[in-house]
């Protein structure tokens, strides 16, 4: 059974082929735009909007007074919902630009290495820490009022570069939901990623993974945590939850079906771990997405 739900809006942005980027700097009293995706990259700054709910893929978070997010995943659904925000003076600055603005012959130059790596991370959506927001705010604040197009582009590139220097960004959607691969410079970790992505529906034993890369289970546990920042079990759960979230959004399959289709062998455990990681039950997660979708 695989009944699809096909009604997330695909936004046609105002970006012109003759322009390097599109910027909208506006004051608003509420968020009303539905869940959507688009092919353009997007940098979104929000101010004075505590209590707004940000949805990026299967990431659902309540933001504070300041939020800065970069999304480069072409099919990655996202939306900012009013939720518990009571502010009537919200500022939103949205920057949209083409994925081919910085062509391969340009983005692969050494001087753009940090920006290229940032774009790769942002395929899952990334949220920037407060110190990054404060670093680029003077540039963001004046970008829309810059009268000289050339200097506006220089400011825009400076914003991207300054943000790319921050390593402590917060990834949003899971890799399995966003349909991205976790990159790594370790062949052994990559082998683990590939195996888990291929067998997450099955029982995965630590010993089998250890044998795969010629390590003992104890050594693998330490090595994997050091290289990926997660334990092996945490990574497996994240992959399974990402797949479950995608099925909740894209199909009408029951929660029970999705639970077992994604490698969980106990419905109560699935519901408990889903709520712990996502902040809501699978049923609530599905309803949250449906409320923000429109039929087109």
Tell me the CATH number at 86: 2.60.120.10
Do 134 and 57 belong to one domain?
yes
Same domain? 247 vs 167 = no
Q: Is 26 found in the same domain as 143?
A: yes
Question: What integer pLDDT is reported at residue 97 of this predicted model?
Answer: 93
Q: Are residues 157 and 193 in the same domain?
A: no
Confidence at residue 74, expressed as pLDDT on a 0 to 100 scale: 83
Reduce the secondary structure of the chain to three states and give it as a string: CCCECCCCEECCCCCCCCCCCEEEEEEECCCCCCCEECCCEEEEEEECCCCCEEEECCEEEECCCEEEEEECCCCCCEEEECCCCCCCCEEEEEEEECCCCCCHHHHCCHHHHHHHHHHHHHHHCEECCHHHHHHHHHHHHHHCCCCCHHHHHHHHHHHHHHHHCCCCCEECCCHHHHCCCCCCCCHHHHHHHHHHHHHCCCCCCHHHHHHHCCCCHHHHHHHHHHHHCCCHHHHHHHHHHHHHHHHHHHECCCHHHHHHHCCCCCHHHHHHHHHHHHCCCHHHHHHHHHHCCCCC
The pLDDT assigned to 8 comes to: 56
**pLDDT at residue 170, as a whole number:** 94
Q: Are residues 24 and 97 in the same domain?
A: yes
CATH number of domain containing 218: 1.10.10.60
The reply to whether 218 and 113 lie within a common domain is no
Ordered per-residue pLDDT tens for the chain, 296 residues: 334 344 457 777 787 788 899 999 999 999 988 888 888 999 999 999 999 999 998 898 999 999 999 999 988 999 999 989 999 999 999 999 998 887 777 787 888 899 999 999 999 999 999 999 999 999 999 999 999 999 999 999 999 999 999 999 999 998 878 777 665 546 788 889 889 989 999 999 999 999 998 889 998 898 888 777 789 999 999 999 999 998 998 899 999 999 999 999 999 999 999 999 888 999 999 888 776 544 33
Residues 161 and 222 both lie in one domain: no
Its pTM surpasses 0.85? no
Answer yes or no: do 155 and 274 share one domain. no
Tell me what pLDDT residue 295 has.
39
In this prediction, residue 182 carries a pLDDT of 61
- Domain endpoint, select from 171, 198, 223: 171
């Amino acid at each position: 059974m695989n009944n699809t739900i096909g009604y997330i809006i695909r936004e046609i942005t105002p970006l012109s082929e003759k322009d390097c980027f599109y910027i909208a700097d506006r004051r608003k009293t509420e968020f009303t735009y539905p869940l959507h995706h688009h092919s353009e990259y997007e940098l979104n700054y929000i101010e004075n909007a505590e209590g707004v709910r940000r949805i990026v893929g299967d990431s659902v978070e309540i933001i504070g007074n300041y939020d800065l997010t970069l999304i480069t995943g072409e099919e990655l659904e996202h939306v900012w919902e009013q939720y518990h925000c009571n502010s009537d003076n919200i500022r939103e600055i949205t920057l949209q630009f083409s994925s081919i603005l910085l062509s391969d012959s340009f983005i692969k130059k050494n001087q753009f290495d940090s920006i290229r790596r940032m774009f790769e991370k942002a395929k899952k959506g990334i949220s920037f820490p407060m110190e990054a927001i404060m670093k680029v705010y003077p540039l963001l604040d004046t970008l829309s009022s810059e009268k000289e197009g050339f200097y506006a582009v220089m400011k825009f590139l400076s914003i991207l570069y300054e943000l790319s220097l921050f390593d402590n960004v917060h990834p949003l959607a899971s890799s399995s939901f966003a349909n991205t691969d976790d990159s790594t410079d370790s062949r052994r970790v990559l082998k683990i990623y590939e195996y888990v992505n291929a067998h997450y529906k099955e029982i995965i034993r630590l010993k089998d993974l250890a044998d795969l890369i010629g390590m003992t289970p104890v050594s693998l546990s330490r090595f994997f945590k050091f290289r990926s920042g997660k334990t092996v079990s945490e990574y497996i759960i994240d992959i399974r939850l990402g797949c479950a979230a995608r099925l909740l959004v894209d199909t009408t399959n029951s929660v029970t079906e999705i639970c077992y289709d994604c490698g969980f062998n106990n419905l109560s455990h699935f519901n408990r771990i889903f709520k712990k990681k996502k902040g809501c039950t699978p049923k609530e997660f599905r309803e949250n997405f449906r409320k923000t979708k429109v039929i087109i």
